[in-house]
A and B are shown apart, each in its own frame.
Chain A
């Protein structure tokens, strides 16, 4: 189907989007294991969380909830692409509230995290938790 082809092409073209990190520092290589642990910790701290993913500098999925890491990669790339295109400047954080749930995305220390929560999650706490999770992960998961 044409739509599928377009989506694949978009995802392929947008891989480099994650290299436009506003934070000057780059992440230390994070193992999938430490990313999984960080994600589990984030889920534990955030009772409203439905699902989340942690992405590496190239947009690769380091850890994700559910069984579709490929979709997290594609859809996160699409979100960051739309957000960066809004004003032509790379964004640091994204918060979108819809009737179906809320989406948070953040770039920090060369990594990116995406979270989906129930409606009316406390945005400042969610973004704080995500930022500190990424920071710890970039420091080697200590």
Chain B
């Protein structure tokens, strides 16, 4: 039996990585829930749940900005 051609191995490998990346993105879309994350100086960050007081205020403010930006159109 002849071994597979080198370029064939490379193509298979690339398509495996592409499949993995696509699956990762699918899982990410399904699993990701709304969140509010604040970043402070020196790299510290904090998440605020939607049902907390601070989180609710952040989501309201974000909702208004999304409304201002509209659906699409960059100008």
**Chain A: residues with CB nearer than 8 A to chain B?**
22, 40, 43, 49-52, 65-66, 68, 71-72, 75-76, 78-79, 81-83, 85-87, 89, 91-101, 103, 114, 116, 120
* Nearest CB in chain A: distance from B36 CB, A: 5
- Which of B3-11, B12-20, B40-48 contacts its partner? B40-48
User: What are 12 contact pairs spanning A and B, CB under 8 A?
Assistant: A66-B68, A68-B68, A79-B65, A86-B48, A86-B57, A91-B39, A93-B38, A96-B59, A97-B32, A98-B66, A99-B34, A100-B63
The residue that B36 contacts in the complex, of A52, A96, A101, with Cβ under 8 A, is: A96
Count of B interface residues, CB-CB < 8 Å: 32
The residue that A82 contacts in the complex, of B58, B71, B74, B75, with Cβ under 8 A, is: B58
